[in-house]
Amino acid sequence: MCGVSAPIIGAQSQGQGLTLSDGREVCHCLETIGSRSQCFDVLQNAICKNLRFAPEVTPEIRPTGLQVVPDSMAAALLRVVSRLLDLSFLPNEVLLRFLSDCCLSLLSLLEQEQGVPDSAEKSEAVRGVCLAALSGVPRLLRLVLQSLHVSDLCEEEFSQLAQMLSYLLRQSQLRNHMLANAALLQHIIQDLTRYCQGEAQEQWLTDLLYCYSVTLSTHRGNLGIRDVY
């Protein structure tokens, strides 16, 4: 997905799809570091700085020359941060933005791989990792939502973005986080609705508006579908 997914995640190998075995090894190695502060130091000042784009570098060039981050490694890093996180050790800005890229790319990849044979179990494992990170890492969900720009999407990508948002809205552990980002979420949905005007309303947009309305119905302002249009 050229607009939705941050261009950092790739499948382990062609035709292999989502795999977590190598990622579990990465996770295990990081967790064996005795000091939690040292583990975060490795994550923030070594791993993610060498994997994510440097701000001044074009998307085609990475500091390490690495073209993609394996999906299993991205999932493993999200899992490690979720397990190690506490009030004493919070992700710095570099790590937080890298985690946002990882999470968005994995969720986008999952939408693309729906219906792939024998992928259900692996997909659920990755979804669980993403949800744990989004619900547990401060500001992560907000960064993911801020990176969604409807105007940058291809027309066929609208439905994938809407389905991803609908999925997030249905997750009970994210309800408070989605409510806290209601204005940002509303802006994204308004853009999607505007780009789809003049055509018969697609089922994916109907589903998204319904999920949005149900989630926001508990908000004090009682925002609903009428606020989107």
pLDDT at 99 over 80: yes
Of 29-38, 74-83, 181-190, 218-227, which range is least confident? 218-227
Minimum mean pLDDT among 4-8, 113-117, 152-156: which range? 4-8
pLDDT tens readout for residues 12-34 = 433 344 444 555 666 677 667 76
Answer whether residue 72 shows pLDDT above 70: yes
**What is the average per-residue pLDDT within 219-225?**
47
Q: Please report the pLDDT score of residue 128 as a whole number.
A: 92
More confidently predicted of 118 and 105:
105
pLDDT higher for 79 or 3? 79
Residues 104/71, Cβ–Cβ less than 8 Å: no
Reported pTM: 0.76
- Calculate the CA 2 to chain-centre distance: 15
The answer to whether 21 and 70 have CB atoms below 8 angstroms apart is no
Structure tokens at 176: 């408070």
Q: What residues have CB less than 8 Å from 18, skipping those under 6 apart?
A: 11, 71, 72, 109, 110, 113, 119, 122, 123, 126
Q: What is the pLDDT of residue 191?
A: 92
Give the phi and the psi of residue 8 in degrees, each rounded to 5: -125, -15
pLDDT digits (tens, 9 = 90+) for 172-217: 999 999 999 999 999 999 999 888 765 556 888 999 999 999 888 8
The pLDDT assigned to 132 comes to 93
Q: Which long-range contacts (CB under 8 A, 24 or more apart) does 55-64 make?
A: 59/7
For the chain, the C-alpha Rg in angstroms (whole number) is 18
